[in-house]
């Protein structure tokens, strides 16, 4: 068969046109996926992602608002449920606390950080009932506002008549548990004097062979220490210096308590932020010093949790 030159030319032209049409698809490389790339979903708001400059203080304050509630309910979190018995589901008992009946007297001594917990210590009573629902508690508040530790030592063997509280001396209270606060919010001028007086207070209370705990309350604010409509409202330098002295004596008190073998209820380090400040939401906005309701609940939950952890009342 003889093919004319015109036919061959037409054939090659058609082939060239077809090749140009499909070449973009033939030469296109397959798309590679970077395994390190995090997919972005339509519902994600990229503007909400935290940057390295995110205010860590704000973050900690947000989470701090639920800390005490988590601690208060920790004993309710059973690891596993027991198998059904005759079709009845029975949950395992809490790992902390006890549902047995009992009675206990607990006394706290300290400065205004204890005083503001209130007569009969209602915050603590609520927290204790979460661990010991069938216990009857007699809670005694020996806190007096504005006291340094040497004044607390001076009255340790004296009856208390303060506000609506009328108690026998704490050493004659027959308390099953006595909790000693640091008195650090009213710091002494000399650190060594502070430590010596605190040691003497510990020694006096221990003479009664009572179970003794040590309480380090929440970390103070520094920049805003004492600020508020009912606060002392010192100038910035005075407030900062005083708050720093509180922290110094609080740290020394914790070391001293541990050296004496006392279990420490350490609310201080749990509320001390990396910038040296306390947590604002835990501090009463009216005076900038004492615990807010949230702060008192946090302290109470830490006390109750520590007592349950040590199985003192089991």
* Residue range 128-147, pLDDT digits in tens: 999 999 999 999 999 999 99
At 54 the three-state DSSP class reads: coil
Domain with 200 in it? 59-68+95-309
Answer whether 306's CB lies under 8 Å from 267's CB.
no
Q: What is the pLDDT of residue 314?
A: 85
Q: How many CB atoms lie within 10 A of CB 299?
A: 27
pLDDT, average across residues 218-231:
98
Q: Which two tokens stand for residue 40?
A: 């972005």
Helix (H) or strand (E) holding 140: strand 135-143
Higher pLDDT, 48 or 179: 179
**267-293: pLDDT as tens digits:** 999 999 999 999 999 999 999 999 999
Is 216 part of any domain?
A: yes
Is 116 part of any domain?
A: yes
**12-63: pLDDT as tens digits:** 555 554 454 444 444 444 443 343 333 332 223 333 333 333 345 554 554 5
Is 29 part of any domain?
A: no
Q: Print burial letters for 57-92: b (CB count within 10 Å at least 16), e (below 16).
A: eeebbeebeebbeebbebbeeeeeeeeeeeeeeeee
Higher pLDDT, 257 or 209: 257
Reported as a pLDDT band with limits 50, 70 and 90, residue 86 is very low
Is 50 part of any domain?
A: no
Q: How many domains does the chain have?
A: 1
Is 177 part of any domain?
A: yes
Q: How far is CA 233 from CA 147, 240, 282, 303, in A?
A: 19, 11, 18, 31
pLDDT, average across residues 200-221:
98
Is 263 part of any domain?
A: yes
Q: How high is the mean pLDDT of the chain?
A: 81
Reported as a pLDDT band with limits 50, 70 and 90, residue 64 is low
Is 44 part of any domain?
A: no
Answer whether 213's CB lies under 8 Å from 262's CB.
yes
pTM, rounded to two decimals: 0.73
Higher pLDDT, 233 or 8: 233
Higher pLDDT, 107 or 15: 107
Is 198 part of any domain?
A: yes
CATH of residue 294's domain is 3.40.50.1110
pLDDT for residue 198 is more than 60: yes
Q: What is the pLDDT of residue 6?
A: 53
Q: How far is CA 99 from CA 216, 310, 313, in A?
A: 28, 16, 11
């Amino acid at each position: 068969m003889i093919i004319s030159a015109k036919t061959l030319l037409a054939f090659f032209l058609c082939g060239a046109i077809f090749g140009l049409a499909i070449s973009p698809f033939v030469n296109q490389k397959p798309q590679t996926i970077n395994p390190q790339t995090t997919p972005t979903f339509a519902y994600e708001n990229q503007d909400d992602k935290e940057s390295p400059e995110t205010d860590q203080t704000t973050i900690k304050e947000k989470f701090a608002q639920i800390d005490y509630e988590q601690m208060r309910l920790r004993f309710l979190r059973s690891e596993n449920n027991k198998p059904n018995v005759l079709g009845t589901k029975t949950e395992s008992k809490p790992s902390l606390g006890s549902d047995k009946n009992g009675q206990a007297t607990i006394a706290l001594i300290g400065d205004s950080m204890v005083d503001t917990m209130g007569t009969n210590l209602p915050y603590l009573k609520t927290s204790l009932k979460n661990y010991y629902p069938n216990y009857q508690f007699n809670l005694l508040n020996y806190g007096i506002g504005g006291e340094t530790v040497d004044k607390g030592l001076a009255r340790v063997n004296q009856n208390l008549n303060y506000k609506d509280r009328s108690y026998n001396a704490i050493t004659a209270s027959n308390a099953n548990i006595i909790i000693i606060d640091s008195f650090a919010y009213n710091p002494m001028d000399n650190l060594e004097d502070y430590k010596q007086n605190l040691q003497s207070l510990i020694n006096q209370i221990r003479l009664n062979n009572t179970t003794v705990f040590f309480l380090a309350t929440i970390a103070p604010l520094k920049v805003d220490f004492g600020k508020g409509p009912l606060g002392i409202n010192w100038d910035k330098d005075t407030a900062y210096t005083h708050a720093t002295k509180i922290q110094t004596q609080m740290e020394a008190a914790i070391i001293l308590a541990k050296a004496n073998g006392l279990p420490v209820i350490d609310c201080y380090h749990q509320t001390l932020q990396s910038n040296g400040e306390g947590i604002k939401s835990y501090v009463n906005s009216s005076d900038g010093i004492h615990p807010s309701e949230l702060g008192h609940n946090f302290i109470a939950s830490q006390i109750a949790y520590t007592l349950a952890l040590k199985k003192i009342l089991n």
